[in-house]
Amino acid sequence: MVRPVFLGVVVFLTLEVGVGDAHIGSRIYPIWEVPDVELSTIDLQDGSVAEWKAILGPPTLQAADFSNSPTIPWDGSYDAADLTWSMWLGWSSSTGRLYVAIEKVDNEYMNEFALGNPFQFPGNDIIEFMVDGDHSGGEYGFAPDCCDTQEAWRRVHDSQAQHYLAIADAPDQQHLGYVGYGGASFAPSPATSWPYADAGGTSLGKGPTSSVIEFFVTPFDSLVWEAPERGKVSMLSPGKIIGFEVSLPDWDSAGSTTELMNYYTLSQQASTWRYAERFVDGRLLGPSRSTAITATSWGRIKASFGMTDVQGSR
Ligand SMILES: [Ca+2]
Ligand SMILES: [Ca+2]
Ligand SMILES: [Ca+2]
């Protein structure tokens, strides 16, 4: 089956800027570990981020951390009345997973797709989450004409980094999609299901609409889309830097797949669907400040990258 052309390709393919060094920006975002005892308190299906606040404290990311994509025309002013959000990121050394929750308030919430497949996201208020578990950077999203055979494309596309789509309301309860070949065939990759991933979400109200999406994913250094057990899972440990990126399209017109109001990104880079070096950096930290890396080593690490850290949330 021909894969649907997704927004990133449509918008960005002809608007390339040069490939940069891995990774983008001068900030390192702290990602705190979720202690084992608190993993069980995370309920992906309850439509609430209360447990994330209890575990991780203030949000890891908020709307102010994002900017509109350089490839989407807009008036340059962010209006919280249009869309605002808070987001929590965590990880676990026990499960090898990354944990993500977002709470959004959208003045016009679009969730119109059929069959609940989040890959049909043009026109819908999804979020995109991209991860480069080994911080390698490099090209990871490929078009089918990249390779000599379709099989070769399936193997390489979204393998060394992964691009997920998540949506709050999914009639078939498939809240998470993977942009690699599994998503393209409308047969979800096992990488989007237990034990590698799980997701839930819900929305409440209309104009404005409050929505919650909660999920976890397993990052891979090399993902085999149809058989994740044959891939290489990224090793997660305190102090490690990963690449990640978050994008939020904001659609405000029912039934439209062309009237994109805004497209918020963390890295302010085009073509993050394709190049992992355009992600931002996240540092995995221990479950509390007492077990996080010391200020001395932290300062040395920052200096080596010419970076400044973002204050942790705990
Ligand atoms: Ca919850
Ligand atoms: Ca990689
Ligand atoms: Ca919207």
Average pLDDT over residues 166-189: 82
Q: Do the Cβ atoms of 226 and 111 come closer than 8 Å?
A: no
pLDDT tens digits, one per residue of 74-100: 666 678 888 999 999 999 999 999 999
The alpha carbon of 210 and the centre of ligand 3 are apart by a number of angstroms equal to 11
The CA 51 to ligand 1 mean position distance, Å, reads 6
Show the tokens assigned to 62: 């908020």
Indicate whether 283 belongs to any domain.
yes
Tally of domains within the chain:
1
In a domain, 77, yes or no: yes
Token pair in block for residue 51: 């447990």
The answer to whether residue 314 sits within a structural domain is no
Bigger pLDDT: 184 vs 26: 26
**205 falls within a domain:** yes
C-alpha torsion sign, points 256, 262, 267, 268: positive
Domain carrying residue 249? 7-309
Please state, in angstroms and rounded to a whole number, the distance separating the CA atoms of residues 93 and 113: 36
Residues around ligand 1, an ion, CB closer than 5 A: 43, 46, 48
Kindly state whether residue 61 falls inside one of the protein's structural domains.
yes
Alpha carbon of 122 to ligand 3 centroid (Å): 12
* CA gap 309, 132 in Å, rounded: 19
| pLDDT one-digit tens code per residue, 88-132 | 999 999 999 999 999 999 999 999 877 777 777 778 999 999 999
| 106 assigned to some structural domain | yes
Rg for the chain (alpha carbons), in Å?
Answer: 18
Res 231 pLDDT > 50: yes
Higher pLDDT, 27 or 49: 49
pLDDT tens, position by position, 189-217: 899 999 999 999 999 999 899 999 999 99
Kind and range of the H or E element at 274? Answer: none
Contact criterion met (CB below 8 Å) for 225 and 182:
yes
**150-163 pLDDT per residue, tens:** 889 999 999 999 99
What percentage of the chain carries pLDDT values higher than 70? 81
7-24 pLDDT per residue, tens: 443 333 322 333 334 567
In total, the chain counts a number of residues equal to 314
pTM: 0.85
In a domain, 94, yes or no: yes
Residues 6+ apart with CB under 8 A from 202: 47, 168, 169, 211, 212
> Where do the H-state alpha helices sit in the chain?
7-12, 36-39, 50-56, 150-156, 181-184, 295-305
Q: Is residue 80 part of a domain?
A: yes
177: domain CATH number?
A: 2.60.40.1190
Nearest to 100 by CA among 223, 201, 249: 201
Task: Tell me which ligand sits closest to the C-alpha of residue 79.
Answer: 3
